């Protein structure tokens, strides 16, 4: 993670009244799934994810002091150059939620310009990286306008908590590597309010994790994650899910320290299938898996049985499959994609990604 230099020298001072702040924030893929939430965007269970390297959002926030403070928040959110009402509404909600703890927000006009480097049609959830980038810009703004001094640790923790208010999975996009979110007894300092980076041993194979995202269908899903979380409130398996997720998370953490990659694979796949089982057994009877998703799962299992490689799949709330494997298996895995998996992808589309380093403050050269 690039935590260097969160200082005003990295922020472009456009003129006396205007300031521009830029951050890049990564997407993440959960292996232990956050599914179900309480008031204030607090999770029903702990989750764990891998931060990605190649899929990210770049966001610039321009702030300009109003000539006359009017107590109202004025914000515009542009996505790839066009005003985006849908995501803008989410940011508006976030800003009004923050107004008490960030009273300076209404003293400025805020304009966000945001872009994803992954295609919109790729089916990667963009709310995690987008919200994380927005949260980083807001905490940088806070630091500049209030002239507060803050350690890097406090800075990212605050950004993680603010990202959570915008979108739960965004909480984890504030750190690189493996990240957990939720109060977990075995992780010191962990909380339901913000994420915690998971320390990996220098020699852990997880440091070599790679992710091939197989795009079965690139259309926006019919059921938003927020609706999916809401359906958990009255779900007949609600309590069972909480217990399952917490026990999977604890086992997963133990497996990391014991370098038990077979168990890691088993737990991650159980999580992905459980998420979809919960969707299917909710009152809406939502089915997001598609025939080609199942074909890919079958091929991955067959390949694992025949080669003995400890790779595995995970799936978010959609039809696309993440094939998680390790660097040393790359050649064989690329062959598998070419020979057996690509045919199930929409227009043969797949994305090559890997474990990443976390957010990056953009330098002035980038900003101008």
Name residues contacting ligand DP6, limited to 117-146 (CB under 6 A): 125, 127
In the complex with ligand DP6, the residue whose CB is nearer, 253 or 333, is 253
In the complex with ligand DP6, the residue whose CB is nearer, 47 or 286, is 47
Structure tokens at 134: 């927005």
Residues 214, 320: Cα–Cα separation, whole Å = 6
Contacts with ligand DP6: how many residues (CB under 6 A)? Answer: 15
Strand partners, 329: none
CA atoms within 13 A on the CB side of 144: 26
Span of 105-113, 136-144, 165-173, 325-333 interacting with ligand DP6 by CB under 6 A: 165-173
Tell whether residue 169 is a contact of ligand DP6 (CB under 6 A): yes
Residues 326, 332: Cα–Cα separation, whole Å = 11
Span of 61-69, 137-145, 163-171, 352-360 interacting with ligand DP6 by CB under 6 A: 163-171
Strand partners, 76: 111
Closest approach of ligand DP6 to the CB of residue 59, in Å: 17
4 φ/ψ sector (left φ>0, alpha ψ -120 to 50, else beta): beta
Q: What is the DSSP string of 273-309?
A: HHHHHHHHTSTT------HHHHHHHHHHHHHHHHH--
55, 116, 143, 167: which one binds ligand DP6 (CB under 6 A): 167
Span of 10-18, 27-35, 59-67, 241-249 interacting with ligand DP6 by CB under 6 A: 27-35
Nearest residue to 156 (alpha-carbon basis) of 146, 169, 171, 141: 171
Query: Does residue 132 contact residue 361 with C-beta atoms inside 8 Å?
Result: no
Span of 18-26, 225-233, 303-311, 336-344 interacting with ligand DP6 by CB under 6 A: 225-233
Query: Does residue 336 contact residue 325 with C-beta atoms inside 8 Å?
Result: no
Q: x/- string (CB under 6 A) for ligand DP6, residues 63-82?
A: --------------------
Query: Does residue 44 contact residue 37 with C-beta atoms inside 8 Å?
Result: yes
8, 93, 226, 257: which one binds ligand DP6 (CB under 6 A): 226
Tell whether residue 319 is a contact of ligand DP6 (CB under 6 A): no
Closest approach of ligand DP6 to the CB of residue 315, in Å: 9
11, 25, 47, 174: which one binds ligand DP6 (CB under 6 A): 47
Span of 26-34, 95-103, 110-118, 210-218 interacting with ligand DP6 by CB under 6 A: 26-34
Nearest residue to 282 (alpha-carbon basis) of 317, 319, 247: 317
Name residues contacting ligand DP6, limited to 183-212 (CB under 6 A): none
Residue 156, number of CB atoms within 10 A of its CB? 25
Nearest residue to 58 (alpha-carbon basis) of 84, 24, 91: 24
Name residues contacting ligand DP6, limited to 275-294 (CB under 6 A): 275
Q: Which residues bind ligand DP6 (CB under 6 A)?
A: 30, 33-34, 47, 125, 127, 167-169, 225-226, 229, 275, 316-317
């Amino acid at each position: 993670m690039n935590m260097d230099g969160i200082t005003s020298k990295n922020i472009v001072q456009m003129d006396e009244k205007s300031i521009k702040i830029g951050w890049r924030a990564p997407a993440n893929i959960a292996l232990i799934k956050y599914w179900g939430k309480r008031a204030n965007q607090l999770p029903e269970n702990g989750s764990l994810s891998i931060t990605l390297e190649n899929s990210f959002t770049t966001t610039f926030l321009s702030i300009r002091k109003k000539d006359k403070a009017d107590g109202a928040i004025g914000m515009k959110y542009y996505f790839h150059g066009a005003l985006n009402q849908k995501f803008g509404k989410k940011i508006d909600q976030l800003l009004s939620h923050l107004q008490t703890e960030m009273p300076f927000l209404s003293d400025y006009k805020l304009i966000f310009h945001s872009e994803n480097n992954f295609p919109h049609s790729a089916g990667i959830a963009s709310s995690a990286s987008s919200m994380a980038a927005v949260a980083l810009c807001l905490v940088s703004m806070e630091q500049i306008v209030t002239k507060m001094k803050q350690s890097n640790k406090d800075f990212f923790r605050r950004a993680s908590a603010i990202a959570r208010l915008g979108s739960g999975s965004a909480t984890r996009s504030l750190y690189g590597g493996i990240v957990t979110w939720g109060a977990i007894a075995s992780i010191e300092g962990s909380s339901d309010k913000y994420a915690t980076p998971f320390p990996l041993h220098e020699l852990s194979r997880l440091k070599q994790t790679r992710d091939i995202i197989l795009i079965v269908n690139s259309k926006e899903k019919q059921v938003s994650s927020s609706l999916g979380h809401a359906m958990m409130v009255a779900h007949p398996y609600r309590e069972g899910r909480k217990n399952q997720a917490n026990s999977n998370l604890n086992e997963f953490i133990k497996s990391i320290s014991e370098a038990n990659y077979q168990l890691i694979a088993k737990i991650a796949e159980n999580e992905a299938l459980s998420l979809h089982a919960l969707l299917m057994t909710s009152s809406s009877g939502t089915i997001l898996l598609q025939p080609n998703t199942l074909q890919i799962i079958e091929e991955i299992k067959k390949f694992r049985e025949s080669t003995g490689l400890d790779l595995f799949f995970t799936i978010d709330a959609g039809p696309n499959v993440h094939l998680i494997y390790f660097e040393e298996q790359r050649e064989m895995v690329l062959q598998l994609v070419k020979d057996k998996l690509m045919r199930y992808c929409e227009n043969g589309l797949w994305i090559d990604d890997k474990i990443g380093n976390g957010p990056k403050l953009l330098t002035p050269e980038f900003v101008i």
